[in-house]
Amino acid sequence: VIFAAGGRPKRSGVKGENEFWGRGVSTCATCDGFFYKGKDVVVLGGGDTALEEAIYLSRICNKIYLIHRRDEFRAAPVTIQHVKENPKIEIITPAVIEEIKGDNSGVTGVSIKDTKSGEVRDLAVFGVFVFVGYDVNTQILKQPDGSMLCECDEWNSIKVDLSMKTNIPGLFAAGDVRVQASKQVVCAAGDGATAALQAIAYLEHH
């Protein structure tokens, strides 16, 4: 069995997010960052992915507003340090986005709220990058007792080796369902090819 059910980025639920999804709201800086060259953007999130993508965008965009609802980030200390030392990144915490605004051309700005003072202010930006988590489609692997069929991490991403093998003989996982997946189509396709070759080898030896 090759399990390749994929996953999807979580949405923030902010007003205007669905309306401008794909028209200024994105979950992939690597994919869409170039469209905002020299412009101001917002990054929403406080984990490793959010901070790493903010650093990536700082090489392309004019300014990045990094917004997180808590005072502290849930990222590696070295990544946090890089963000704090980056002159293009302005950290806004603790704060939430109240609304993503725009027109027929796409996103034109956001309203943000300081969760301590209650102060609301507007930022003129052309893009909003949302990194608030990722859902992997591994629910079908859940057993009646609540455990997973194969070994997974705390987010239920499947643990595999370089051959895409799980800890269950004959079960392989490929693409975004596996741990440390890069969430890129070309990488998922490579995983699938590796898993297919390994599955053939497994059948030939059994």
Please give the Cα distance from 157 to 178 (Å, whole number). Answer: 5
User: Which DSSP state fits 152?
Assistant: B
Query: Is-contact 168 149, C-beta < 8 A?
Result: yes
Catalytic positions are 28, 31-32
Q: Which helix (H) or strand (E) holds 190?
A: helix 185-204
Closest residue by Cα to residue 164 from 150, 151, 175: 175
- Of 170, 187, 123, which Cα lies nearest the Cα of 178? 187
CB 50 within 8 A of CB 44: yes
Question: For residues 88 and 181, what is the distance between their CA atoms, to the nearest angstrom?
Answer: 28
Residue recorded with tokens 């997974």:
152
Closest CA to 9 of 108, 130, 109, 96: 130
Residue given tokens 């609301």 in the structure block: 120
